[in-house]
């Protein structure tokens, strides 16, 4: 498997992923919508051992958006880069929009749809859940 590359908007932070992404989903919760300035966050899980910052480590700031959930973003351009979890340091949450290469996965479920933006309609046939159907960073799908 070749590495998957990603970066922030200003290019100050770059990273590589050497392993697979799993559990791809679209999250419609209010925190994800606010953090990404969009109708939802498309994200996946990655093993922390497979994630490596290749440039700009000092540019990442973390914000604890909920207890134990730390969202990392570029302090220059604000791009979301990675989320880490106190309850499981072996996995990270990764916004698919930060990737420069094809991640090899596509979101196939929608979660927290009761929180979805009123101005957005989900038009695909993927399953929809009122909440997450598994703890994001703990269980493989």
Output the domain CATH number for residue 71: 2.170.150.70
In a domain, 16, yes or no: yes
3-state secondary structure of 141: coil
Domain range for 50 is: 4-23+41-105
- How many domains does the structure of the chain reveal? 1
In a domain, 128, yes or no: no
Q: Which residues contact 7 (CB under 8 A, 6 or more apart)?
A: 13, 14, 15, 98, 100
Q: Using CA atoms, how far apart are residues 100 and 117, in angstroms rounded to an integer?
A: 27
Q: Using CA atoms, how far apart are residues 95 and 84, in angstroms rounded to an integer?
A: 12
Rounded to an integer, the average pLDDT of 27-49 is 95
Work out the pLDDT band at 131, boundaries 50, 70, 90: confident
Tell me: pLDDT of 26 over 70: yes
Q: Using CA atoms, how far apart are residues 29 and 40, in angstroms rounded to an integer?
A: 7
Tell me: pLDDT of 22 over 70: yes
CB 81 within 8 A of CB 5: no
CB 97 within 8 A of CB 106: no
In a domain, 36, yes or no: no
Tell me: pLDDT of 139 over 80: no
Tell me: pLDDT of 55 over 70: yes
b/e map 19-48, b = 16+ CB within 10 Å: eebebbbbbbbeebbebbeeebbbbbbbeb
Across the chain, what does the average pLDDT equal? 92
In a domain, 125, yes or no: no
Summarize pLDDT for 69-110 with one digit per residue, the tens: 999 999 999 999 999 999 999 999 999 999 999 999 999 999
In a domain, 51, yes or no: yes
pTM, two decimals, is 0.88
Work out the pLDDT band at 2, boundaries 50, 70, 90: confident
* Bridge partners, 95 (sequence order): 43
Rounded to an integer, the average pLDDT of 37-58 is 97
């Amino acid at each position: 498997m070749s590495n998957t590359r990603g970066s922030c908007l200003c290019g100050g932070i770059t990273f590589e992923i050497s392993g697979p992404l799993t559990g791809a989903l679209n999250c419609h919760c209010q925190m994800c919508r606010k953090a990404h300035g969009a109708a939802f966050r498309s994200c996946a899980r990655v093993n922390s051992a497979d994630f490596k910052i290749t440039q700009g480590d000092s540019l990442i700031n973390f914000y604890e958006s909920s207890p134990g959930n730390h969202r990392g973003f570029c302090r220059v351009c604000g791009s979301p880069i990675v989320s880490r979890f106190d309850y499981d340091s072996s996995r990270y949450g990764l916004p698919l929009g930060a990737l420069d290469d094809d991640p090899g996965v596509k979101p196939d479920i929608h979660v927290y749809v009761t929180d979805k933006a009123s101005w957005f309609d989900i038009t695909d046939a993927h399953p929809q859940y009122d909440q997450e159907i598994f703890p994001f960073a703990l269980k493989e799908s």
